[in-house]
Amino acid sequence: MSALTFGFGPVEAEFWRWLFVMTRIGAALLAAPFFGAASVPMQARVIVTGAVAAMACAWLPIAAPPALLSLPGLLAVAGEVLVGLALGFVLQLAFAAPTIAAEVIGAGMGMSIASAADPQTGAHSPALGQYYGVVLVLVFLGLGGHLLFIRLVLDSYTTFPPDHTWLGAERLAAIAGFGSQMFLTALAIALPVTLVLLAVQLAAGVISRSAPSLNLFALGLPAGVLAGLAALIVSAPLTGDLMADVAAQALDSARMVIQPHGTQP
pLDDT in tens, 81-90: 888 888 888 8
For the residues 166-180, what does the mean pLDDT come to? 78
* pTM summary value: 0.75
- Res 254 pLDDT > 50: yes
Find, among 55, 22, 26, the residue nearest to 42 by Cα.
26
pLDDT at residue 246, rounded to an integer: 83
Does residue 94 fall inside a structural domain?
yes
Cβ pair 111, 126 in contact under 8 A: yes
Helix (H, G, I), strand (E, B) or coil at 116: strand
Print the domain residue range for 41.
9-258
DSSP bridge pairs for 116: 125
Does residue 265 fall inside a structural domain?
no
Does residue 207 fall inside a structural domain?
yes
Burial of 159 (0-12, 13-18, 19+ CB in 10 A): middle
Does residue 263 fall inside a structural domain?
no
- Res 264 pLDDT > 60: no
For the residues 42-64, what does the mean pLDDT come to? 84
Does residue 226 fall inside a structural domain?
yes
Cβ pair 64, 162 in contact under 8 A: yes
Find, among 150, 158, 177, the residue nearest to 260 by Cα.
158
Does residue 2 fall inside a structural domain?
no
pLDDT at residue 121, rounded to an integer: 54
Cβ pair 174, 87 in contact under 8 A: no
Q: How many domains does the chain have?
A: 1
Q: How far apart are the first and last CA of the chain?
A: 60
Does residue 175 fall inside a structural domain?
yes
Report the alpha-carbon distance of residue 180 to residue 207 in Å, rounded.
38
- Alpha helices per DSSP H over the chain: 9-31, 42-59, 71-95, 97-109, 127-142, 145-159, 169-210, 216-234, 236-258
Average pLDDT over the chain, rounded to whole? Answer: 77
